Structure 1
């Protein structure tokens, strides 16, 4: 087992998420605009000619080795140009607590930053408002609910650490889940931050929604990041 020192606290791998709520919206976007936002070591996985997929992940971590915090992730489906399986590359990963920010950057090379994230839940929806550098950037509302059980599924996330592509494997599943095809119940409002402009270039808020999902009681496990140069 690998243990990292983060702000004077040990973090032993794998990191365990024992309880969280997670909403995700999957958008169909312009592949060229998406490619402009990722490093050249990766290429966009096209869902159709000239189209890619942007995932917006909204996670309320309640019981987690890295603490309790909110997180908003903007990520694209990619593959390494050097070869390898399809996965996601996170371009923005705002959180609202400093410890998880430092851990995410140090352990996985994830682009975390500490920002203001406001969350409002109802019985049927969850609304997330993100402020970057103190400026309103984006608000996303996603349907909330479901009674399905989602078995743990293996996934892959890519990142750059010291300019070197790395691969992180993780699993995610849980109870109280649902998948809604199409954009019913999804709303997006953009602000005037540079990230708002990036999302507008992708076609938001009007980009087609492939699906949204919700997990009320999510569990996850995150492994170490492994360099692709080592054949991971």
Structure 2
């Protein structure tokens, strides 16, 4: 069954397909109690791959060809799950630089999108991105390239979780990465004066070493309709 949504007078049909995107990301280990308190509003709990440590992921994405048009995006996410549910990526913050995807993301999936200036440099060896509001920098992230990783033949399905206006949702998400590179460390983070930057400082990320960094030269994605989660 196909579900349609109206966004700014245009029809958006499920599933939404991203035919080409480029991504750079870094993962950090953070204190689980602090991360748990930060996302408590969602009703989800952080996943601890090691006792007392949670995973915070920072990523920037250039959407090149997709159903929502071209745009830039920055994500702050945590590995988390509802009680008894599957581990997935809980999207805590998701600034974008185009209004159409802003409205679509909030109204269809409940993603916490907000409008920002997101300059991005992916053509150079070191991938760089910043998030700015009114000329003031909130976050800057640089990712250094790693070694090539063979692409898998299957498209893994993962869970994305969102929370907006008091409602937590699960978004089935399929990804097909290509031109992947990974390495330990490999990221430099600079925090500004946005409230999310202060939250990341509270997790000890100011000057922290990344567990690892990755780049994806060509990424295809499919987003299904969201389902409400009742933790």
Give me the TM-score of the superposition, normalised by structure 1. Answer: 0.91
* Alignment correspondent of 2:64: 62
Q: Where do 5+ consecutive residues of structure 1 fail to align?
A: none
* Alignment correspondent of 2:137: 136
For 2:221 and 2:123, how far apart are their aligned partners in 1? 24
1:10–1:76 distance in 2 versus 1, CA, 3 Å? same
Q: CA deviation at 1:190?
A: 1.2
For 2:145 and 2:12, how far apart are their aligned partners in 1? 32
From 172, 176, 180, the equivalent of 1:177 is: 180
5 Å matches for 1:71-150?
71-81=73-83, 83-132=84-133, 134-144=135-145, 146=148, 148-150=150-152
Q: Where do 5+ consecutive residues of structure 2 fail to align?
A: none
5 Å matches for 1:163-202?
163-180=166-183, 182-184=184-186, 186-202=187-203
Q: CA deviation at 1:147?
A: 6.4
Post-superposition Cα deviations, 1:1-52, rounded to whole Å, max 9, x if no partner, equal 0000011110000000001101111111111221222125111111222210
Pairs aligned (count): 227
Select the structure that is richer in strand: 1
* Alignment correspondent of 1:222: 223
Q: Report which stretch shifted further, 43-52 or 96-105.
A: 43-52
Q: CA deviation at 1:204?
A: 1.2
Question: Equivalent residue of 1:203, what SS?
Answer: coil
1:166–1:111 distance in 2 versus 1, CA, 3 Å? same
* Alignment correspondent of 2:157: 154
For 2:22 and 2:219, how far apart are their aligned partners in 1? 6
Question: Equivalent residue of 1:152, what SS?
Answer: coil
User: Are 2:20 and 1:29 equivalent residues in the alignment?
Assistant: no
- Superposition CA RMSD, Å: 1.8
Preserved contact between residue 160 and residue 172 of structure 2 (Cα < 8 Å): yes
For 1:98 and 1:4, how far apart are their aligned partners in 2? 16
Segments of 4+ moved more than 6 angstroms:
none
Post-superposition Cα deviations, 1:124-156, rounded to whole Å, max 9, x if no partner, equal 211001113542111100124746324421110
Give me the TM-score of the superposition, normalised by structure 2. Answer: 0.91
Post-superposition Cα deviations, 1:38-72, rounded to whole Å, max 9, x if no partner, equal 12511111122221000111100000100100000
Q: CA deviation at 1:161?
A: 5.1
For 1:207 and 1:31, how far apart are their aligned partners in 2? 15
1:56–1:198 distance in 2 versus 1, CA, 3 Å? same
